[in-house]
Amino acid sequence: MWRMIYYFSGTGNSLYVARHLADALGERLCTMQLSSVSSLKEQADESVGLVFPVYAWGIPSVVEAFAKAFPKGAKPFLYAVMTCGDDMGYTDRVLEKALGRQLDAAFSVLMPDVYVCLPGFDVDSKEECREKFLQEETKVKEIAECIKARKQVRLLKRGPFPWVKTYVLRPLFNRFLVTDKYFRADASKCIACGRCSKTCPVGNILIIDDLPRWQSHCAGCLACYHACPYHAINFGKMTQHKGQYNLYNYMK
């Protein structure tokens, strides 16, 4: 019997959920890499899970590439678990279009908000984070039971105006805000520790002349911004006075 959970995670929320789900189901974890898609096999009793964060009421570029490479002949019980700070619009439909098939089940899990690049957006308070972590425990148990029973369900928090968010706002967001051209490192604060480079899930950052340099294939996860121990990294002026998110610090 062959089962697998593939995940993509920037700041750690989706990996946190993926690990809990893998433990509950006794399944293996694998990062979403195009090279790992070829390992998929057609087996009547298999299941495949996709765990990832919602970006702008849609799927991250890494997830889109993985989904498009998903073998069209493979027909496992396919489910998605999408983490979001508030709501997820029609992210499941965007994923299905990339996959070229319908999901058998889909779930959303609220996790701490990490998006800080627009006015009015900031990280959640410690109290809000703790509450979401408590809810995550219950939610993952519910999801695990549904998957074990092979239930074809959609337990999703779409939020208000989901079509507008996914099909009107998302394209604008991706066009103008999923970019690394606004990232800057303050030379007076940066110590060239390399944490931003190590944290970047797509290898988009190199340390050159003791400063991080972005290489123009950003996924928009903001892991570099949140990981910087000296708040030396900012996305233009939008994040200069915003909070940073560290999953393990917020759990203390």
Return d(Cα 84, Cα 52) in angstroms, integer: 9
- What's the pLDDT band for 75 if we cut at 50, 70, 90? confident
What does the buried/exposed string (b/e) look like for 45-67 if buried means 16 or more CB atoms within 10 Å of the residue's CB? ebbbbbbbbbbbbbbbbbbbbbb
CATH number for 183-245: choose from 3.30.70.890, 1.20.120.140, 3.30.70.20, 3.20.20.100: 3.30.70.20
Domain limits, the chain: 3-161, 183-245
The pLDDT assigned to 209 comes to 96
The pLDDT assigned to 247 comes to 84
**Minimum mean pLDDT among 93-97, 130-134, 145-149, 244-248: which range?**
244-248
Rounded to two decimals, the pTM is 0.94
Return d(Cα 102, Cα 92) in angstroms, integer: 9
Mean pLDDT in residue range 208-214: 97
**Minimum mean pLDDT among 44-53, 134-143, 155-164: which range?**
44-53
Whether 79 shows a pLDDT value over 80: the answer reads yes
Residue with more model confidence, 46 or 37: 46
Other C-beta atoms lying within 10 Å of the C-beta of residue 243: 14
- What's the pLDDT band for 43 if we cut at 50, 70, 90? very low
Report the chain's mean pLDDT, rounded to a whole number: 93
Whether 42 shows a pLDDT value over 60: the answer reads no
- The secondary element (H helix, E strand) that includes residue 13 is helix 13-25
Pairing of β 47-53 and β 28-31: unpaired
Whether 44 shows a pLDDT value over 50: the answer reads no
- What's the pLDDT band for 153 if we cut at 50, 70, 90? very high
Q: What is the number of residues in the chain?
A: 252
- What's the pLDDT band for 73 if we cut at 50, 70, 90? confident
Q: What is the CATH number of domain 3-161?
A: 3.40.50.360
Whether 134 shows a pLDDT value over 70: the answer reads yes
The pLDDT assigned to 45 comes to 53
Mean pLDDT in residue range 105-121: 96
Mean pLDDT in residue range 59-82: 92
Whether 250 shows a pLDDT value over 70: the answer reads no
Whether 117 shows a pLDDT value over 60: the answer reads yes
Mean pLDDT in residue range 98-124: 96
The pLDDT assigned to 33 comes to 81
DSSP character string of 156-214:
----SSHHHIIIIIHHHHHHHTS-STTEEE-TTT-----HHHHH-TT--EEEETTEEEE
